[in-house]
Amino acid sequence: MSAPVIVTGAAGFIGMHLCRRLLADGRSVVGIDNLNDYYDPRLKRARLATLAGFDGFAFHEADVADRGTIDALFDTHRPQKVVHLAAQAGVRYALTNPMAYADTNLAGMAVMLEACRRLEVRHLVFASSSSVYGANRKLPFSERDPVDHPVSLYAATKRANELMAHSYAHLFALPVTGLRYFTVYGPWGRPDMAIWKFTDALLRGKPIDVYGGGVLSRDFTYIDDTVEATVRLLDLPREPSSSANPADWNAEGPDTSWAPFELVNLGRSDPVSVNELIARLEAITGRGALRNEMGMQPGDVERTFSSTEKLVRLTGFTPGVPLDEGLRAFVAWFREYHRIDR
């Protein structure tokens, strides 16, 4: 029997969908999640329940920053591929709970890198974020752009993850790929994300908090596209260059390296403003929005816009689920999950 894929953050939004896809493809999966209370753990347990019918799935409740437990799990399951999605998410939460990001995003990443190095894992894929582009103005965001000015602690920890990963790729020839996810949405999504909040408010007749006049835009990317690209990249570990000597390396951009290291944007390359998002959700739900206008929040960026050139070049895949189609699927799931009549 082939070695299982370890997926951390398996009870999370992307993690659950990724596990389902890997299991449906006939792969064995070991899921790890600490089921913390950043948002309602009942949602996380409900996600896990959708995986219970697969024979190839094993779940362990554990914290990725707990080195002893993670090392023991790696020793038991001996993975060859690892997808590290566990993280403390959220931009605004970091303003009042900064140490949660240090503990999970920094210490947790170090533990995963060490475990992968020790077992000589063939490929580590980890979740970075479009947030690393920070205050960048050039559009669309390209992996070759500098990312030196994060505007949130969350973004800073994700950029730190990229740098940590590159050091391990160089020092230990560990193949690592970082995925810069762009505003992933869809059924079983996160309650702290705008699409969930807006849908909930519309269906319950509550006000929507709209920041910065609603002109902020995001490159919303449907979960099925996100998972498809992630699976394809999981099976494409980067090979080291012919020369492992940095002195012999001709830099083509910040995303390239002599080491077996890759950074890839994962977005749809079709940003939509918050105002447009609200209008589309109004049309789908048949409800009018009650708006609570608020100023820009610390850590917010004006726009995100993914270049998909590298993703297409590496995988041949272009994310293509239209926003209206994805929103209809989310709203239908939301009504069913919360038992909200039309």
Supply the residues annotated as catalytic: 154
Residues sharing a CB contact under 8 Å with residue 66, sequence separation 6 or more, in sequence order:
111
- Nearest 5 degrees, angle CA 273-CA 277-CA 279? 115
Ramachandran quadrant class, 296 (left: phi over 0; alpha: psi -120 to 50; beta: rest): beta
Buried b (16+ CB within 10 A) or exposed e, 199-224: bebbbeeeebebbeebebbbbbbbbb
Question: How many CB atoms sit inside 10 A of residue 288's CB?
Answer: 10
Cβ pair 128, 161 in contact under 8 A: yes
Whole-angstrom CA distances from 317 to 24, 177, 229, 239 are: 20, 17, 7, 20
| Beta pairing class for 272-273 and 217-218 | antiparallel
Of the candidates 107, 3, 110, 14, which has an alpha carbon nearest to the alpha carbon of residue 58? 3
